[in-house]
Amino acid sequence: MAGKIIADQIEHSTAGSLDTQYVVQGSAKAWVNFSMAGTTARDSLNLSSLTDTTTGKFNIAMSSAFTDADYTPVGYTSGYNGTGFAPPVSLGLAVENRISTTSTTYGFDSFSSSSYIDAVENRSVVIGDLA
């Protein structure tokens, strides 16, 4: 049997109540845990594909589109390339402005100092309104 629950507020017996809009607006709509050594995710939600575009640069495509390209992807990269950590001079992550107009794809890059690296520990989460 299929059904749905319609509620404007969630109430806890001792901790108070919460407007359901906070849950809808504040929940991650997509996430992925992956290694740049391949194009298969360790685990994910709302992931369509990972595309290796060049060393240290991936495109992440989601299964369900967002209402527009104003969603917010964030992420983490370790700088570990499978044999050792990259020099800790300026390890960084760039969720680049390769956000598609179809609102389903964004770029995820890993770099150390001035070089892009294929890091093996990468995580990204996306917040926004699904279409």
* pLDDT, position 9: 82
Q: Regarding predicted confidence, which is higher, 96 or 130? A: 130
Look at residue 20 and tell me whether its pLDDT is greater than 60. Answer: yes
- 118 close to 56: Cβ distance less than 8 angstroms: yes
Q: Determine the straight-line distance between the first and last CA of the chain, rounded to whole angstroms.
A: 25
Most distant CA atoms of the chain, gap in Å: 57
Query: How far are the Cα atoms of 42, 111, 112, 113, 118 from residue 89, in angstroms, in the given order?
Result: 28, 10, 7, 6, 16
For residue 11, the cross-strand partners are: 17
Domains detected in the chain: 29-127 (2.60.40)
> Looking at the whole model, is its pTM more than 0.85?
no
Per-residue confidence band for 130, with pLDDT thresholds at 50, 70 and 90: confident
Q: For 67-82, write each residue's pLDDT tens digit.
A: 887 888 888 887 666 6
Place of tokens 């499978």: 82
